[in-house]
Structure 1
Amino acid sequence: MTFVQIIDCKTDRVEEMNRLMDSWAEATRGKRTATHALMGRDRSDSTHVLEIVEFPSYEEAMENSRLPETDRIFREMTALCDGEPTFTDLDVLRDEQLNKLVVEKFVDEVINQANSDAADELCAPGYREHDPSLPSYDVDLETAKAENREIMQAFQPTCTIEGLVAEGDTVCLRMSFTGRHVGAYRGIEASGREVSGTGHATFRCEGGKIAESWWNVDDLGLMRQLGVVPE
């Protein structure tokens, strides 16, 4: 379950606090378990500052708190505050909207902008992809990027989100796509034919990122449009 920690403090040294947060991010690069962090200032009281940090789980938050860099940053932050900061620990009960947003961004950047490397930021480190149209049904992120790159180069597809439903950590996508066969695809030389089709995908999200996905696209219809399979 996603975990959020809210750090509440009073300070008139906001710029120093902001630089301290940058220092924390740099000092814990590659080690910290936080997935998102933001700092906000109360519009009615410029000295009232909130730091909101998100983790995939409470356990990973505790792992992060044990880092020596985190302890040092906390002591430096306390020195900038008027009094001791207070902490509120929250188990996130609903974050469907954020999960929908990351799926929408995946469709826009990875598919429509043909930027497979964007998946590095949108997908969790242990990401798994399941697609019966790929040579291997269960693949990691790097393999999925390599195998899907052929599809992007061959058809330059544009994906339209027809429907998006989220519940808990799961997002279901109903989509349509259009493209043109401009590159070789599985030994089929470019034909210049326009193609279109539909599909569904299910995503499991974790800590604001996509941890797993399952894809089902009308591959038979695509082969018929290319003239490989008779009507």
Structure 2
Amino acid sequence: MTFVQFIDCKTENVEQLDRLMDDWVEATQGKRTATHSMVGQDRSDSTHVVEIVEFPSYEEAMKNSQLPETDRIFQELVAVCEETPTFTDLDVVRDDQLNKLVVSRFFEEVINANNLDAADGLCTSDYREHDPGLSSYDLDLAQAKQENSEIIAAFNPRITVESLIAEGDLVACRMTYQGRHTGTYKGLEPTGREFAGTAHATFRCQGGKIAEAWWNWDDLGVLRQLGAVEV
């Protein structure tokens, strides 16, 4: 279970506290078990600073606290604070990364369910698609739906999402795909052959919808499997 620790500090010397965080990151390189660190400053009280540190589990957090580097930095932290920092320990019982959810729905409802109209509810009205395999590297939603419908009709692809990573308004996806060439596409007559490959995509989300997407497929690998090009 993911574990999060909130460290509340009161200090007039926020810059020194920030430097201590940098020192800790450098000193614990290759040793720390923390996976994510964030520092926030209270808008209504500039001396109130909260550090949020994420760990894979409580046990991993305890390993981190036992590092001599962690103890040294904490003692220096206490010295720059007006009062002893307080700790809030939280077991994460729910973690919804909402941008990842909308991207997952896009794969299942639009591509795997072969329902391109579902993209209307999952993408913004000014959605832009960037894919070197399409007619332009900058397509609007209507044109992207049209061109992708031809691909889906010809190749019947199914995508498996292997991993999703979210940061800010971006979601990066690593995926595998498979399909069968059953329809004509850009003059390439159906071969009936199965194919498989790997791909990456990055999505920019806005207001709970997908506003932009960049796609990269192993097009050459697919053409080789279909016998359209020689190895």
TM-score, L = length of structure 2: 0.58
Q: Which residue of 2 is the match for residue 18 of structure 1? A: none
Q: In the TM superposition, what is the alpha-carbon distance from 1:163 to its structure 2 partner?
A: 0.7
Larger radius of gyration: 2
One-letter identity of the residue aligned with 1:217: W
One-letter identity of the residue aligned with 1:147: E
Unpaired runs of at least 5, structure 2: 1-94
Q: Which residue of 1 is the match for residue 177 of structure 2? A: 177
Q: Which residue of 1 is the match for residue 217 of structure 2? A: 217
The size of the alignment, in residue pairs, is 137
SS at match of 1:211: strand
One-letter identity of the residue aligned with 1:107: F
Counterpart Cα distance in 1 of 2:200 and 2:187: 26
One-letter identity of the residue aligned with 1:130: H
SS at match of 1:118: helix
Counterpart Cα distance in 2 of 1:152 and 1:96: 30
Within 5 A, what are the aligned runs for 1:75-224?
97-224=97-224
The CA RMSD measured in Å over matched residues stands at 1.1
Within 5 A, what are the aligned runs for 1:11-90?
none
- Is the contact made by 1:96 and 1:167 (CA closer than 8 Å) also made in structure 2? no
Counterpart Cα distance in 1 of 2:194 and 2:98: 34
SS at match of 2:182: coil
Counterpart Cα distance in 2 of 1:166 and 1:96: 11
Counterpart Cα distance in 1 of 2:196 and 2:114: 17
SS at match of 1:187: coil
One-letter identity of the residue aligned with 1:169: D
SS at match of 2:97: helix
Q: In the TM superposition, what is the alpha-carbon distance from 1:186 to its structure 2 partner?
A: 1.3
Query: Structure 1 residue runs of 4+, over 2 Å off?
Result: none
